[in-house]
Amino acid sequence: METRKAPLSIRIIYWSTNLVLGLLSLVFVAFIAFNILLYTDIIGNDIQLHIQLPGKLDLNETGVLNLTDQEVQVELVEISGKLHFINTPTTITKKIAPVIMVVILIIGYLTYTFRTFIKNVKNGNVFTLTNIALLKRIAYGLVGYWLFYIIYMSLMFRWITQNLEFESIRISSEFSTESWALVIALLLWVLAHIFKTGLELKEETELTI
């Protein structure tokens, strides 16, 4: 029996996922080495740490937008950005490093699970219980990432806003909730039920024949 070759798009996604998973593995190993150096105090207070601000900056800066035939007065009222800890103390780095480690682990788990799913699809195994379980695992992983992100950003927002001082800038009480993760998780959950329905229909057809 001749084996059907997987579509080019599926093969590209599969090999791209392999590449991403390999890079994530290298990053994870490098970050383990970084944590060892950090917690053994080999690394000093000269790290230049950048983190995403847990909120947006409220500004009141005016400017001019030069168009072809006119100038428009504009005002910058809200922006997002990163916070640079100049010569970051190890006390701060040791708090942020475990968070980055958890994020890498979650992304690695999601990538590995997705790779397994794509591999099954590439091999022609689409409507299977294994694929249904994999889709649900990815959905659960995305929800877990979302919950972790919300908790982290809430804690960071409270910590930074209570201690950060600027003369003319204020951090608003809003920060991104990464709602896209919940949307994708919901779509994958629906897709898992579609796969389950397809599998049941296939089994009914085989029993009828």
> Rounded CA gap, 149 and 155, in Å?
10
Do residues 58 and 77 make contact, with C-beta atoms less than 8 angstroms apart? yes
The pLDDT value recorded for residue 29 is 92
pTM of the model: 0.79
CA-angle at 113, arms to 110 and 117, nearest 5°: 135
Q: What is the pLDDT along the chain (209 residues), one digit of tens a residue?
A: 445 677 888 889 999 999 999 999 999 999 899 888 888 888 766 788 888 777 777 777 788 888 877 888 888 777 777 888 888 888 888 888 888 889 999 999 999 999 999 999 888 888 888 989 999 999 999 999 999 988 888 888 888 777 777 666 777 666 677 788 889 999 999 988 888 887 777 777 766 66
Instruction: Tally Cβ neighbours within 10 Å of residue 31.
Output: 16
> Rounded CA gap, 181 and 198, in Å?
25
> Rounded CA gap, 117 and 141, in Å?
14
Torsion of CA 108, 111, 113, 116, to 10 degrees: -130
Locate the domains of the chain by residue range: 8-45+88-208
H or E, element range at 48:
strand 47-52
Residue 24 CA to its chain's centroid (Å): 13
